[in-house]
Amino acid sequence: MKFSMIFEAQIADPTPERERRLFHDCVEQAVLAEQMGFDRVWAVEHHALTQYAHMSASEIFLTWVAARTERIRIGHGVVTMPFGYQHPVRVAERAAMLDVLSGGRVDIGAGRGATRQEMSMYGVNPEDTYPQMEEALRIFSNAWREERFEWHGSIDIGPGAILPRPVQDPHPPLFMACSKHDTLKLAAELGIGALVLGFAGADDVREMRKIYDEAIATRTGDRLVSTEVNDHFSALCPTIVLDDADAAYRIGTRGQRFFAESIAHWYGNGPAPTGYSEDIEAADHVAAMEQDRDALVAKLHEAKVPVRPADTGQFNAKHAYGSAETAIAYVEQLREIGVDEVMCLIQMGTVPQEACLETIRQWGETVIPHFRALEGEAV
């Protein structure tokens, strides 16, 4: 089992000065993650989602991290693939260049960039997002596997070559963001790794693993995007771990409430985040998230829309918040499910830098070694 971290670059009260500090703090966290034994860092790509995600140019952030590290893998989790955001050849060139400079450490995840805000910023048609994301993945795999290639689909490319050539032969591993059961099935059919949300808890992760595995078992191979198949399943794990377990729970639930309110704002047209005062107790954050969950469920029922765990998962506070032992117990559930990678969400908009760094140290000194030892025993 692998361990990673994901960066949204969230900030509760953005100013230019705080924003600049935020990115340097994220780099500091990524460098410490390598020292503490983490296997990978992921960075999202979002545009104009104030407070929720200021990571608009993840290729720059990941290049900076690669220059400061030697071993840890560098993951795009994810690149927005519809052509209005960026031409697929340009993405392939950037990824190959980073693969060369990092010594073959790059992973590429695909996403739709499907908020109204982002699509309106780039003139992206919602109906194009799924087909163009899949086509971009096919373009990558062809462009990287052939020294000279051309493509004639919904866009015409070439003939030409992607320069430089990536270090990883024939190309960096491919992944896809999977927030729905349909996208899990699609990732399996395309033969690419799944990056799944884990907010709803271990039971939902178990169901998603089952759906992914069943789709892998029944795929015909007709839709594979590459000769290189990647069946890697990575699940999100929100976590804050401190010596003071009560403080960790308070900081973690506060951060998650900010995260949940941000998602509701940008993905559900709700109000901007407000519930992140330091004076609010953890129980009040949890109660507020439960109220928000109930309100969303009522709204979906009124619209006669089925309620899925993914719709309300961000309001579930039963995660790896507390002591190292709490985190180990939660990850034990993910290990039993068969998760290939635990993707830690630590940098939430209200979590102070010292709590992020302490959490990374606690995972590196206690949590990760616990599971490395179990793997050693299994061997």
CA distance linking residue 185 with residue 211, whole number of Å:
7
Confidence of residue 315 (pLDDT cuts 50, 70, 90): confident
pLDDT of residue 279: 65
Q: What average pLDDT does range 267-277 have in this prediction?
A: 76
Closest CA to 98 of 109, 108, 84, 87: 108
Q: Give tens-digit pLDDT for 52-70.
A: 999 999 999 999 999 999 9
CATH: 3.20.20.30, 3.20.20.80, 3.90.10.10, 3.40.50.740. Which one for 2-245+316-378? 3.20.20.30
CA 205 to chain centroid: 14
pLDDT single digits (tens) 96-128: 999 999 999 999 999 999 899 999 999 999 999
| Mean pLDDT, rounded, of the chain | 92
pLDDT exceeds cutoff 60 at 379? no
Q: Residue 65 contacts by C-beta under 8 Å, 6 or more apart in sequence?
A: 27, 30, 31, 41, 43, 72, 74
Residue 328 has pLDDT above 80, yes or no: yes
Beta bridge partners of 108: 76, 174
For the chain, the first-to-last Cα distance in angstroms comes to 13
β-partners of residue 195 are 177, 234
Enter the pTM of the model.
Answer: 0.93
Bridge-based pairing of strands 156-160 and 149-152 is antiparallel
In angstroms, rounded to a whole number, what is the distance separating the alpha carbons of residues 88 and 69? 27
Alpha carbons 105 and 305: distance in angstroms, whole number: 42
SS3 sequence of the chain: CEEEEEECCCCCCCCHHHHHHHHHHHHHHHHHHHHCCCCEEEECCCCCECCCECCCCHHHHHHHHHHHCCCCEEEEEEEECCCCCCCHHHHHHHHHHHHHHHCCCEEEEEECCCCHHHHHHHCCCHHHHHHHHHHHHHHHHHHHHCCCEEEECCCEEEEECCCCCCCCCCCCCEEEEECCHHHHHHHHHHCCEEEECCCCCHHHHHHHHHHHHHHHHHCCCCCCCCCCCCCCEEEEEEEEECCCHHHHHHHHHHHHHHHHHHHHHHHHCCCCCCCCCCCCCHHHHHHHHHHHHHHHHHHHHHCCCCCCHHHHHHHCCCCEEECHHHHHHHHHHHHHHCCCEEEEECCCCCCCHHHHHHHHHHHHHHHHHHHHHHHHHHC
Residue 172: pLDDT above 60?
A: yes
CA distance 217 to 209: 12
Nearest to 12 by CA among 219, 221, 252, 272: 272
